[in-house]
């Protein structure tokens, strides 16, 4: 029987899990009713469409992600770093019509200098720390806006975001580079060379990007090499900017296998290594910790 | 009476001029039938739609730009730098059905290391050098893919492209940053600070870009400041990469007043100055020089 419902609600997707009293996942469902597709009035309906049949009586829902943004269900605000990842006590209750529901939304984390925000990743960090409470080092969360998070004594000390994933999507899908990137092959050597160039000379990034197009026109660079080089250049430039986060640090990665694997490979060439844990598992662990804290 | 027809045919636009025997412009017209919208068979029709009524007898057409690309009317190839800007003798004749037309398309310029290409800019450079044959220094051509071109003894010695303009368009129109950039204001101070940051620490570019979003969420950064900072960061990072092209060099700019003005302002802060000439005027001057060379 469903004890509570865990929800990871991002800009483009809603994922929900029916949770047992012992923290086990009973059922999972998802929809494309992300925050970006909804007006405030639409969130409750979207949730019930996905999770409605799990609800038999009064049920708590604990959610994280863009659902707590200004344009979300309710503005859950931000905890300000340095801080512990927001827990249940910081959750904001969302207005509902169906009185069986009690919906708690976790805040994000903000930082004033340099100005930065996260919303969703803090819950993955909370889940990671619930499993490894003694971790002291840096967590890298590769994604649309990759985050580097310095952890000490259970707190988010500081963090920095890079637009690497979104730039890859825009450049590979909509820029002049798209002409040379057809298919889905991957060339490890071209990736490694791209990382090296991006890391050693980030000042040439926006020129090296155009160079991918020129290599395609002049030297028939293969699409698999072009795509891997594009990814490598962007990740390499990110590593140049995030050096203080990974050089000589205890590292951990939270993310999807393929993308996190690319970061692990790029950093291994710099003798920086760390283990990967799964993003969805960490989100669930963080939501479980928040649910426990709500009592 | 139309002596010949000059054509600047880019990816998204076709511009044509009816030219007098003395090099004067008799009429001008344009359409959105750019190279990107046409198959090879469509170019002649698109040209006649724009310029057909100027044609009374056998008429020469001299064209530059993406019309000479592989996907264009005919592949006009590239001259290989170091080289003089391609002249009439290097033009490739395009196949026509209307036998009143004789269509010459100018090649672009390529470079092997680092791999780079231009197509259209070389004709502006030719026009510039036709007017200032003794110029020795660097021409900056701001645009979708900004070019820096080292000129010596009438030759293109080397050049380097940066994706600055296309990145600005993608980031301001389609990335998460678009939410904070509504309207069309401009904040000079935010531009200057962006240039300084981009130039001094290009390794943080993809992080500073996300910072614009965070400043909007946390500190209500105004759209005019956000847009100007975005432009400043991208131009500043470009200046970090193009330093060998502008530091201690004789400089000239070919471009639209607003965009070239932004580059001039950014470089003036580094004590690098140069005059601007109009892009369209230089294209016409280059096409005139090519027409003269065809005899």
- The ipTM value here is 0.96
Sheet (strand A274-277) strand order: A155-162, A146-152, A137-141, A251-254, A274-277
On whether the CB atoms of residues B72 and B52 are closer than 8 A, the answer is: no
Chain B residues with CB under 8 Å of A204 CB are 241
Say what the pLDDT of residue B100 is: 96
Nearest to B59 by CA among B14, B114, B18: B18
Say what the pLDDT of residue A130 is: 96
Say what the pLDDT of residue B276 is: 97
Structure-model confidence comparison of residues A41 and A188, the more confident one:
A188
Per-residue pLDDT tens over the stretch A88-116: 789 999 999 999 999 999 999 999 999 99
Is residue A58 very low, low, confident or very high in pLDDT (cuts 50, 70, 90)? very high
For chain B, give every domain's residue range. 4-119, 162-277
Which of helix, strand or coil describes residue B203? helix
Å from B96 to nearest chain A CA?
A: 26
Please indicate whether, in this complex, the C-beta atoms of B205 and A209 are within 8 angstroms of each other: no
pLDDT mean over B154-181: 96
Select from B190, B193, B210, B221 the residue whose CB has the most chain A CBs within 10 Å, as the one to mutate to test that interface.
Answer: B210
Indicate the pairing of strand A116-118 with strand A155-162.
Answer: unpaired
Interface check A169 vs B, CB under 8 A = no
Interface check A150 vs B, CB under 8 A = no
Residues in A 238-257 with any Cβ partner in B closer than 8 A: 238, 240-243
Instruction: Classify residue A201 by its DSSP letter.
Output: -
pLDDT mean over B189-208: 98
Q: Give the integer Cα–Cα distance in Å for B250 and A216.
A: 32
Q: Sign of the C-alpha dihedral, residues A182, A184, A185, A186?
A: positive
Is residue A227 very low, low, confident or very high in pLDDT (cuts 50, 70, 90)? very high
On whether the CB atoms of residues B190 and B228 are closer than 8 A, the answer is: yes
Q: Give the integer Cα–Cα distance in Å for B280 and B262.
A: 18
On whether the CB atoms of residues A144 and A168 are closer than 8 A, the answer is: no
> Does residue B87 surpass a pLDDT of 90?
no
Å from A214 to nearest chain B CA?
A: 5
Per-residue pLDDT tens over the stretch B109-156: 999 999 999 999 999 999 999 999 999 999 999 999 999 999 999 999
Which of helix, strand or coil describes residue B5? strand
Say what the pLDDT of residue B1 is: 87
Q: Give the integer Cα–Cα distance in Å for B48 and B56.
A: 12
pLDDT mean over A7-36: 95
Query: Given this chain, do its domains B4-119 and B162-277 carry the same CATH topology?
Result: yes
What percent of chain B stands above pLDDT 70? 100
Sheet (strand B108-111) strand order: B78-80, B108-111, B116-118
Residue of B nearest to A116 (CA): B214
Please indicate whether, in this complex, the C-beta atoms of A213 and B117 are within 8 angstroms of each other: yes
Q: Give the integer Cα–Cα distance in Å for B221 and B10.
A: 36
Say what the pLDDT of residue A87 is: 83
Please indicate whether, in this complex, the C-beta atoms of B115 and A218 are within 8 angstroms of each other: yes
Mean pLDDT of chain B: 96
Chain A residues with CB under 8 Å of B213 CB are 117
What percent of chain B stands above pLDDT 90? 95
On whether the CB atoms of residues B103 and B134 are closer than 8 A, the answer is: no
On whether the CB atoms of residues A140 and A282 are closer than 8 A, the answer is: no
> Does residue B295 surpass a pLDDT of 90?
no
Say what the pLDDT of residue A89 is: 83
Is residue B208 very low, low, confident or very high in pLDDT (cuts 50, 70, 90)? very high
pLDDT mean over B277-290: 96
Q: Other CB atoms closer than 10 Å to residue B223's CB: what's the count?
A: 17
Is residue B184 very low, low, confident or very high in pLDDT (cuts 50, 70, 90)? confident
Is the preceding peptide bond at A295 cis, omega within 30 degrees of 0? Answer: no
Report residue A227: phi and psi, to 5°: -65, -45
Exposure class string for B231-251: b at 16+ Cβ within 10 A, else e = bbbbbbbbbbbbeebbeebeb
Please indicate whether, in this complex, the C-beta atoms of B161 and A110 are within 8 angstroms of each other: no
Please indicate whether, in this complex, the C-beta atoms of B116 and A211 are within 8 angstroms of each other: yes
Chain A residues with CB under 8 Å of B166 CB are 175-176
Is residue A181 very low, low, confident or very high in pLDDT (cuts 50, 70, 90)? very high
Nearest to B52 by CA among B8, B112, B7: B7
Say what the pLDDT of residue A182 is: 87
On whether the CB atoms of residues B162 and A204 are closer than 8 A, the answer is: no
> Does residue A183 surpass a pLDDT of 90?
no
- Of A160, A210, A237, which has the smallest distance from its Cβ to B145's Cβ? A210
On whether the CB atoms of residues B67 and B73 are closer than 8 A, the answer is: yes
pLDDT mean over A172-188: 93
Residues in B 7-66 with any Cβ partner in A closer than 8 A: none
Please indicate whether, in this complex, the C-beta atoms of B170 and A166 are within 8 angstroms of each other: no
Please indicate whether, in this complex, the C-beta atoms of A206 and B241 are within 8 angstroms of each other: yes
Nearest to B125 by CA among B93, B158, B103, B94: B158
Mean pLDDT of chain A: 96
Separation in Å, CA B238 to CA A202, A236, B266, B275 = 10, 17, 11, 19
Please indicate whether, in this complex, the C-beta atoms of B209 and A163 are within 8 angstroms of each other: yes
Fold observed for domain A162-277: Nucleotidyltransferase; domain 5 (3.30.420)
Say what the pLDDT of residue B68 is: 97
> Which CATH number among 2.60.40.10, 3.30.110.40, 3.30.420.300, 3.40.50.720 corresponds to the domain B4-119?
3.30.420.300
Interface check A90 vs B, CB under 8 A = no
Å from B98 to nearest chain A CA?
A: 31
A vs B, Cβ pairs < 8 A, gives: 135
* Residue A195, phi-psi category: left (phi > 0), alpha (psi -120 to 50), beta (remainder): alpha
Instruction: Classify residue B83 by its DSSP letter.
Output: B
> Does residue A25 surpass a pLDDT of 90?
yes
- Of A111, A202, A206, which has the smallest distance from its Cβ to B163's Cβ? A206
What distance lies between CA A42 and its chain's CA centroid? Answer: 24
Å from A143 to nearest chain B CA?
A: 13
């Amino acid at each position: 029987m469903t004890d509570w419902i865990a929800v990871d609600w991002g800009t483009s997707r809603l994922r929900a899990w029916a949770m047992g009293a012992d923290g086990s996942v009973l059922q999972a469902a998802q929809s494309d009713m992300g925050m970006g597709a909804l007006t405030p009035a639409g969130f409750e309906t979207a949730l019930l469409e996905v999770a409605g049949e799990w609800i038999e009586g009064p049920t708590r829902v604990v959610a994280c992600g863009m659902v707590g943004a200004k344009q979300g269900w309710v503005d859950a605000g931000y905890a300000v770093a340095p801080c512990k990842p927001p827990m249940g006590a910081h959750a904001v209750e969302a207005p509902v019509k169906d009185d069986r529901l009690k919906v708690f939304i976790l805040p994000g984390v903000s930082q004033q200098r340099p100005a930065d925000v996260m919303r969703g990743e803090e819950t993955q960090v909370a889940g990671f720390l619930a499993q490894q409470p003694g971790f002291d080092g840096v967590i890298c969360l590769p994604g649309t806006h990759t985050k580097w998070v310095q952890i000490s004594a259970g707190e988010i000390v500081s963090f920095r975001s890079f637009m690497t994933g979104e730039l890859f999507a825009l450049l590979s899908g909509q820029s002049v580079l798209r002409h040379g990137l057809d298919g889905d092959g991957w060339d490890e050597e071209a990736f490694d060379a791209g990382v090296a160039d991006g890391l050693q000379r980030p000042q040439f990034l926006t020129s090296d990007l155009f160079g991918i197009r020129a290599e395609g026109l002049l030297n028939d660079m293969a699409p698999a090499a072009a795509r891997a080089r594009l990814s490598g250049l962007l990740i390499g430039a990110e590593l140049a900017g995030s050096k203080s986060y990974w050089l000589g640090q205890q590292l951990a990665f939270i993310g999807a296998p393929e993308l996190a694997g690319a970061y692990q490979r790029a950093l291994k060439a710099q003798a920086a290594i760390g283990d990967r844990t799964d993003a969805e598992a960490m989100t669930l662990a963080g939501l479980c910790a928040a649910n426990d804290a709500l009592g």
